[in-house]
Chain A
Amino acid sequence: MLWVLVLGPLLLAILVYLAGRRCGRAALTLGASLGMLATLLLALVAVMGDWQGAYRWSETLVLSLELSSAGRLFAVMVPLVALPIIAYAGVHDLPRRDDHHRTTAGGARLLALLVAFVGAMQLLVLANDLLTLLIAWELIGACSWALISQRWGEVAVARDAAHAFLTTRFGDLGLYIAAAAVFAGTGSFGYTDLAALDGGLKHVAVAGIVLAAAAKSAQLPFSAWLFAAMSGPIPVSALLHAATLVAAGLYLLARLQPALATVAWFAPVVIATGLATALAGGVVGALQGHAKKLLAASTSAQYGLMWLAVGVGFPGVALVHFVAHSFLKAGLFLATGIAERQTGSYTLADMRLGRRLPGIAIATAVMALALAGLAPMGFAWSKEQVVAAAGQQGAWLALLVALTGGLSALYATRFQWLAYGRATRRESSGLPDAPSPSTVERVTLMALAAATLLLSLLWWPAAQAWLTGALALSLPQSHPWQLVVSLILVVLGIAAGVMLARRPEQAVRGWQALAANWFGLPVLAQGIATRVNALGHALARIDDAVVDAGLRATARLARWLARHHAREGESLAEELPRSLSRLVDEGGRWARQAQSGQTHHYYTGIAAGLVIILLMLVIGVAL
């Protein structure tokens, strides 16, 4: 029964793609959105109940689905966030063909892929064994490749899509190994078998899972692929960051945390990775001048915080932070898309659209302030929970987390100031003319802003009680000083953000430019790719020149032998019988000479013969 949640969107995707040729653009968008709404309702029904699903491939391979508590949350969140994004995409990104209101094949493909992406993600969050998980894990990677390379006509796009796909697939290898390790230990692939594993195999399995999660969640050292993924259209980025690809890594850790945490090194590694990514991502975001890349760095950083929460043993806190993050991050990406339509680029320095689009600017401000971690936004509450969770490990960790909160306040402010700040009238008039955003774009953005605002309820104790009950999560003990320090750092961050935003663009140079570009990680990835490619070419040359040489040498040897034999061998073969016959000839002539016709010759011969016979007899008797 649970398969409906997975197959529904996949079927819908096929329908959307096929309908793309016949339906108008509006009808297509409406159909896709309604289908997504149906998926959402279905998911709501499913999480209330106790559905399950299993599908047998063979004796050993069974795909099984089950609703876990993390799975329930994600199964609802994914279509919920995807719904406004798909509606937005239908208007914002579907190019209109010249003749009618129909869209191009590319537009239908975009919508269909977005819907299919949701289906694959549902499979991922419902999976109850590592084989099913691996299938979904790879499928969302493939979906993201297809979505990022949506505009395949541009030269750089294919390279970026391949970069994103190959980086995340490198992580997928970890999952292959983990699944194999669980199988080696227990003979099947279930999550429960993972928990039952022990010894070296458990270490291998956990390491594989952490690697896979780190690559998908864009944690260090894999963060750079999110920059490459920015070549995709805006709705793709929104979906990737808010609810699907990047979220998958976190989901996996949160889902399997009880089993993973039994390995001693799990907590330190996850905390260190998350913290490092959060700090580094904050710095990248603070210095980055490209609107989408700023948000991408922020995504890495925020997922870093969620990792940290899982690491210190509070996966529930990570899930709440994820929910708050997905609404605001989706909204900020959609707002960036609107800004890009106005200015024609993603360069933050060219935007300042507050005067032209005041309504959108306010909605964006709500989400930016939430990202900044300013109370009473819900996102601020969940961030405080992360601080408190870190405090369980030690005050130093709580302080570091609060510091990342300050960094996030910095880049959020800078983003808002540059993208939707109020420019002077003169500056505004310098903007190119562009059509104002459509109703759908406005409405979806407002809806996400409203959801962000609504989460402010989280500060209300009754809501907290309901939440902990509904999600069965435990909250860390919070200390007042943590809140105070956090708020001070947020205010400082906002102030620094305003200062940085007013700085001219050219000031980002030297180490700052390097830091803004993920401290050179993309270059490193590029370098590895180039090396491997060069190795391939070198091996190809060796293959032609050396490996094949053995064969060619054999062939040459055979030809040489043939020639040699044709000459020397043949003449030898000819000469032997010829000399033999000459010898016989010679012998015959010599024998004929004995036939002289003179009697004394014959007598001599007979006498000699008798002597020889006598001698032989004597020797024979004597012996």
Chain B
Amino acid sequence: MILTTALAVPLLGAVALAGSTRWSDARARQVAVIAAVLSLLALVVAWVGFEPAGPLFQHVDELRWVPSLGVAYRVGVDGIALSVATMSALLFVAAIVYPMDTRGESRQYYAWLLFLQAVSLGVFLALDLLLFYVFFDLTLVGMYFLIGRWGHGAPQASALKFFLYTFAGSLLLLLAIIGLYLSLDPHTFDMRVLIEQQPMAGKGLYAGLVFLALMLGLAIKTPLVPLHTWLPQAHVDAPGPASAILAGVLLKMGTYGMIRLPLAMLQETFARYALTVAVIALVAILYGALVALGQRNLKRRIAYTSINHMGYTVLGIAVAAAAFTDDSLVRQLALTGATVEMVAHGLITGALFLICGSFWQRTGEYDLDHYGGLASQAPLLTGFTALAAFASLGMPGLAGFVAEFQVFAGTFAIYPWLAVLGVVGILITAAVFLDMLRRLFFGRLPVHLGQFVELTRREWSVLGVLSLGIVVIGVAPRFLLTLIEASAGLLVGGH
């Protein structure tokens, strides 16, 4: 029941917020924070109760729903889902606590955030394909309203572009899911059965088409180059906390989906196309990093580094899927790396986008040339940004390194050339972030920034918690790696 609690509490909170018209802004915030924290706590309890040596899926809840169609309410987690879901819940708490100008509509804002939290967690916790798809689509609705109503610039257009583009991806996903559903007899949407039976094995073209539809749908969400152009625009016009959620949680649904669906259910087909996927991931790594270097807009720059980082994740997944080696140790390492990258990127980029929000609240400007010399004016902001930037460029001792190192080590053992080329990505990212730090904080303080305010208490405590997570994963990742490795081992070595 613990996972259902994690899902239900924010959903109830959202309903309560939507229904009660008399709550003040402060009260609405309180309710939202409490609901989000309770949901996080439920997941922490699930984590503590998770048995790494146990079966793949644990904490399973199942409820009959439409038995004639094989649909049921099924939730449950493996180590991968649990770590990503817990990170997401933490990020939602951070986004809700982070101060934000809600334009007098606090109740609605927090209701949408809680709704988004519930359905996002649903994506990671669902064990039923149809349920997964429903949650997957509902996240679009939540994000659409958050960008459209509380965004800046041209929020309506960006929200629409985001919605339509990713919705097109969802449709492909739906087709693939139906394809998977029909391939089994008796028909079922139960993921555990699908993973167990590997229904596509030996089905040639049919399997290839289902795989293509799945990967296209998920690649749009991830996003992989060249299906990424919805991302920068949505980020730039979204409010800071929504951006943090978009990058930290929503993008993970693409890569998490790749692990849960094609990697787990279509192992044979994925193995055939693993190299193609790995090459596309490499393109995303290098292209994302280079384009980020070419951005003058703070938020666009960080958005493009997300493309780079998600490239590492996809690279790790592709390596884990490549079956022409018997060495499951290597593939397990790559998959563990990919999952840690998801968690690390969520925390790091979440922090960076929250920081972007702080910049916007103070000046209403994302242009890097507008800034400079802020290190003296706002030392705390400088410190947190530098930490997040170094984490993002893969500095050891911080979370990103643990992920990227494992991805590279795993990749090299299978596709040496891709690893050699991919490692250049971390050099370009280093240039991207050093340049960003230089333009924001170094040099002389321009006159128009004389009134720039240092981080408030609430801001730095949120960033402090995220930074703590980044450091702990970087220094003592054992608690996380044990959890992920057990499931990764079962996934790549199981069949």
Q: Interface residues, chain A, CB within 8 Å of chain B?
A: 56-61, 105, 131, 134-136, 138-139, 142, 145, 149, 152-155, 157-159, 161-162, 165-166, 169-170, 173, 176-177, 179-181, 183-184, 187, 189, 204, 529, 532-533, 535-541, 543, 547-548, 550-551
Leading 10 A-B pairs by shortest Cβ distance: A540-B294, A536-B293, A180-B412, A536-B294, A58-B481, A184-B413, A158-B438, A135-B396, A158-B442, A537-B294
Check: B401 CB closer than 8 A to any chain A CB: yes
Do A153 and B376 contact each other (CB < 8 Å), given the known contacts A58-B477, A166-B431, A177-B420?
yes
- Chain B proximity of A123: nearest CB distance (Å): 10
Decide: B390 and A177 in contact? CB cutoff 8 A: no
Q: Of B293, B373, B477, which contacts A532 at CB under 8 A?
A: B293
Contact A155 B336 (CB under 8 A): no
B482 A58 Cβ-Cβ under 8 A: yes
Q: Is B203 an interface residue (CB 8 A)?
A: no
Shortest A205–chain B CB gap in Å is: 10
The answer to whether the Cβ of B292 comes within 8 Å of any Cβ in the partner chain is yes
SS of A interface (majority): helix
CB-defined contacts of B401 to chain A, threshold 8 Å: 135, 138
B397 CB–A CB distance under 8 Å? yes
| Chain B residues numbered 215-236 whose CB sits less than 8 Å from any CB in chain A | 225-226, 228-230
- Whether B458 sits at the interface, judged by CB under 8 Å, is no
A-B contacts at CB below 8 angstroms, number: 148
Stretch at the interface among B87-95, B138-146, B403-411: B403-411
A551 touches B405 (CB 8 A): no
Chain A residues near B427 (CB, 8 Å)? 166, 169-170, 173
Indicate whether A183 sits within 8 Å of B397 (C-beta atoms), given known contacts A173-B426, A177-B419, A539-B290: no
- Tell whether B460 is near chain A: CB-to-CB under 8 Å: no
Known: A58-B485, A60-B333, A135-B396. A176 touches B416 (CB 8 A): no
Known A58-B481, A61-B406, A138-B401; contact A536-B292, beta-carbon cutoff 8 A? yes
Interface string of B415-440 (1 = CB under 8 A from A): 01001100110111011001101100
Size category of the binding interface on chain B: 35 or more
Using a CB–CB distance below 8 Å, which chain B residues touch chain A?
161, 165, 225-226, 228-230, 287, 290-295, 327, 329-330, 333, 336, 373, 375-376, 379, 390, 394-397, 401-402, 405-406, 408-409, 411-413, 416, 419-420, 423-424, 426-428, 430-431, 434-435, 437-438, 441-444, 477-478, 481-482, 485
Determine the distance from Cα of A135 to Cα of B475 in the docked complex, in whole angstroms. Answer: 10
Asked if A158 and B443 sit within 8 Å, CB to CB, the answer is yes
Pick the contact of A152 from B165, B375, B408 — CB < 8 Å? B375
Residues of B within 8 A of A153 (CB): 373, 375-376, 442-444
20 sample A-B contacts, Cβ–Cβ < 8 Å, listed by A number: A58-B336, A58-B477, A61-B481, A135-B397, A139-B395, A139-B397, A152-B442, A155-B442, A158-B442, A162-B434, A169-B430, A176-B426, A180-B413, A184-B409, A535-B290, A536-B292, A539-B287, A540-B294, A547-B225, A547-B229
Contacts A184-B330, A541-B294 hold; do A532 and B412 have CB atoms under 8 A apart?
no
Whether A543 lies near B229 (C-beta < 8 A) is yes
A-chain residues with CB within 8 Å of residue B411 when the two chains form the complex: 180
Neighbour of A547 across the interface among B165, B226, B329, CB < 8 A: B226
Q: A142-B390, A142-B395, A539-B290 known; A179 and B438 CB under 8 Å? A: no
The CA of A155 and the CA of B423, in the complex, are separated in Å by: 30
CB-nearest residue of chain B to A201: B416
Decide yes or no: A539 and B291 within 8 Å by CB, A58-B481, A135-B397, A139-B395 being known contacts.
yes
- Contact A162–B291 (Cβ < 8 Å): no
Using known A-B contacts A152-B442, A158-B438, A158-B443, determine if residue A173 contacts B423 with beta carbons closer than 8 Å: yes
Cα A341 to Cα B235 in complex, Å, equals 50
Contact check: which of B225, B329, B376, B416 meets A60 at CB < 8 Å?
B329
Beyond A58-B477, A532-B293, whether A165 also contacts B376 by CB under 8 A is no
Distance in Å: Cβ of B337 to nearest Cβ of chain A: 10
The answer to whether B409 and A57 have CB atoms under 8 Å apart is no
- Set of chain B residues within 8 Å of A170, measured between Cβ atoms: 427
**CB-defined contacts of B293 to chain A, threshold 8 Å:** 532-533, 536-537, 540
